[in-house]
Amino acid sequence: MTTEVPDAATGRIIGADVGGTFTDLVAWDGVEVATAKVPTSDDQGEAVIAGASELADSVDAFLHGTTAATNALLERTGAKTLLITSPGFKDVIEIGRQDRPSLYDPFADRAEPLVDRVSRFTDGDQIEPGDSEAVAVSLLYSFEDAKRERAIRTQVKKVAPSLAVSLSSEVAPEFREFERTSTTVINAYLQPVVSSYLGGLQDKVVAAGLAPRVSVMRSSGGLISTERAAELPAAILLSGPAGGSVAAASLARSFGRDRVVSFDMGGTSTDVCRIDDGRPEISYERAVAGYPCRMPSTAIHTVGAGGGSIGWLDAGGSLRVGPRSAGADPGPACYGKGGLEATVTDANVVLGRIAPAAELGGRLAIDHELAQSSLAGLGEQMGLNPEQTAAGMVRVVEEVMAGAVRSVSVEQGVDPRGAWLVAFGGAGGLHATSLARALDMSGVVVPAHAGVFSALGLLLSPPRVDEARSVLLRSGEGAEEVEVPVGKARGVRPWSQRGPDAALDAEVSAVAMEARHRLPGAAVTTMVDVRYLGQSHELTVRYAPGEGWDRLAERFHAAHLELNGFHREGDPLEAVTVRATATGTPWFTFEDLPPWIPAGDDRVGTRVVFTGRDKVQATVWRRQGLAPGAEVVGPAVIEEREATTWLAAGERAVVHPTGALEIEW
């Protein structure tokens, strides 16, 4: 199997993060940071190469966050795929869990299976590949014994050597047939498309002399090689937004903030993620476009609320915003590229938060009159003037985003009060304080380079390997003598132990050894999915070999109490899956950033801004000119090339030595 480990690099580095509207790039040459923001092209690679070429002739490491896998799944443009499974289980991807996507909406349908029924086969059937491009193999209990799946792959390759084959025992070796099969099908469905994109991008990068290879961000917030990402595209479904959560976590550690929520508002969507103790929350299963995917990912909640989100009226005449977006082309009306519908960016222009003659990213000129016209058209349907309509759009979209923050905090048993909101993305600073105040959060941090912060997160991300194995152990069982770990072929001498914790330690040690084998010299952390006997859902808690069932139970009870409001001490537990994560050293750390050095004037002047209730005279500041320790009191607008920050009356921003804005009220 292809290695998951990108080669270590020092010196010059570029991170390129592709969004729905803009592609953001950050370069580091060992001394200073350079940034660029270019419109995302239909072929993502074209924008990546164009932006990177502006920043450097060549680098030692090229890091990439991509939406290629996500887009292929959302747009259903993946490969024609076959499914081979055990007799009686070929309809499992259609039957699912027999639940409904929306309990109270009779018109909401589940996503259509990625493999139609005539393309599903059982082990032993005569298979005719036809025009298929990929095969998913998911047999019952293959997470315990993968021999038969491997034999099927050999047989398929003899008949059709060019077919991409995904085995559940390699993609998601965990129990639960539906989720494991769904993940394997997703992987097979995406493999030809993602392999073609990443291979083409790497060829372009090498041909342009930019770098010898490309490393890709995986959903869990670490880097893998392009080759491994092409084999395991299900692992990079959330490659794009993962960089932002990594950067926010690094910032939180640097600032000594142990409770933050990252808030990334771009042109198409908003991504939020809870970060505790300097680590993004990790989810081990989530649905993407309605399809369950059992791959570790930063627990990002995404809503269709970005700068390009379009305002519209529903059947009842109520104002709605998103999820449909104007994207980069034609984009918001104010871009002057043919867009006519009012967007959130147009609303901010009309309100005066964005300068009437601003140049977004230093290259895209704003047309205030076109923004005004788009808002007037929408407002006419409601009997409102453009400013009132713009204020209404902002209020609606901010409530959508507040709901996203609640989903990663309140709905998971975590009180957002006392936490800080780390706001970034091109539009994050325009709406952050309103959200934080509505949720009674402590304050807002708008980092330096906020408009390209997710791309900066690529440079802060370490090489990473995630391993998992389902085990199904009960507390108190497994007292016989076992060997810990197994794997003589890798030069590891097994040792024996006896006692109630031996079986658990054996399984945890084995999966840790596999992760360590894939990433030699890395730090390895281990976790266990635990539940009360009889439960159908688990919680993932930390566990290191030797700690024993008692320590594992203590952590599980505490986590269960926090999330569900109760726990049952004394009840027997089940450990159902053991996990290991190996992380290497990132190419770049937040402490490597040079001190913030102001340049040029700080004060621009004043501008009239409509707040929704009245018009105020706001001071306008140039962020690059603000020195550490400088204080800006609202109402105020703080402008930079790739982002804008809005401070309402009563809000106060202080410039941190890193250049970040710490905002309180």
Query: What is the average per-residue pLDDT within 133-148?
Result: 94
Please tell me the predicted confidence (pLDDT) of residue 297: 93
**Residue 566: exposed, middle, or buried by beta-carbon count in 10 A (0-12, 13-18, 19+)?**
exposed
Please tell me the predicted confidence (pLDDT) of residue 498: 52
pLDDT at 656 over 90: yes
Per-domain boundaries in the chain: 13-72+195-239, 79-190, 309-396, 464-583, 605-664
Please tell me the predicted confidence (pLDDT) of residue 482: 47
SS3 649: coil
Question: Between 3.40.50.1970, 1.10.10.10, 3.40.50.720, 3.30.420.40, what CATH number should domain 13-72+195-239 receive?
Answer: 3.30.420.40
Q: What pLDDT, in 10s, does the model give residues 302-329?
A: 888 899 999 999 999 999 998 988 887 8
Range ranked top by mean pLDDT from 407-416, 466-475, 644-653: 644-653
Query: What is the average per-residue pLDDT within 284-306?
Result: 90
Query: What is the average per-residue pLDDT within 167-188?
Result: 95
CA 480, CA 484: separation in Å to the nearest integer? 12
Residue with tokens 């198409």: 268
Q: What pLDDT, in 10s, does the model give residues 526-541?
A: 999 999 998 989 999 9
Per DSSP, helices labelled H in 208-238 are: 226-231
Please tell me the predicted confidence (pLDDT) of residue 593: 85
Rg from Cα positions in the chain: 26
Buried b (16+ CB within 10 A) or exposed e, 392-404: bbbebbbebbbeb
Please tell me the predicted confidence (pLDDT) of residue 476: 64
Amino acid at 284: Y
Q: What pLDDT, in 10s, does the model give residues 32-69?
A: 899 998 888 888 889 999 999 999 989 999 999 998 89
pLDDT at 21 over 90: no
Amino acid at 338: G
pLDDT at 485 over 70: no
pLDDT at 495 over 50: no
Among 139-148, 233-242, 481-490, the range scoring the smallest mean pLDDT is 481-490
What percent of the chain is helix, strand and coil (3-state, nearest 5)? 30, 25, 40
pLDDT at 481 over 70: no
pLDDT at 603 over 50: yes
pLDDT band for position 490 (50/70/90)?
very low
Residue 306 near residue 270, CB atoms below 8 Å: yes
User: What proportion of the chain, given as a percentage, has pLDDT over 90?
Assistant: 69
Please tell me the predicted confidence (pLDDT) of residue 44: 87
SS3 75: coil
pLDDT at 484 over 50: no
Helix (H), strand (E) counts: the chain:
15, 37
Among 187-196, 333-342, 489-498, the range scoring the smallest mean pLDDT is 489-498
Can you spell out the DSSP letters for 347-382?
A: HHHHHTSS-TT-EETTTEE--HHHHHHHHHHHHHTT
Structure tokens at 559: 């986590």
Please tell me the predicted confidence (pLDDT) of residue 75: 85
Query: What is the average per-residue pLDDT within 544-562?
Result: 94
Query: What is the average per-residue pLDDT within 205-230?
Result: 93
In terms of pTM, does the model score above 0.75? yes
User: What proportion of the chain, given as a percentage, has pLDDT over 70?
Assistant: 94
Count of Cβ atoms closer than 10 Å to residue 328 Cβ: 24
Please tell me the predicted confidence (pLDDT) of residue 254: 86
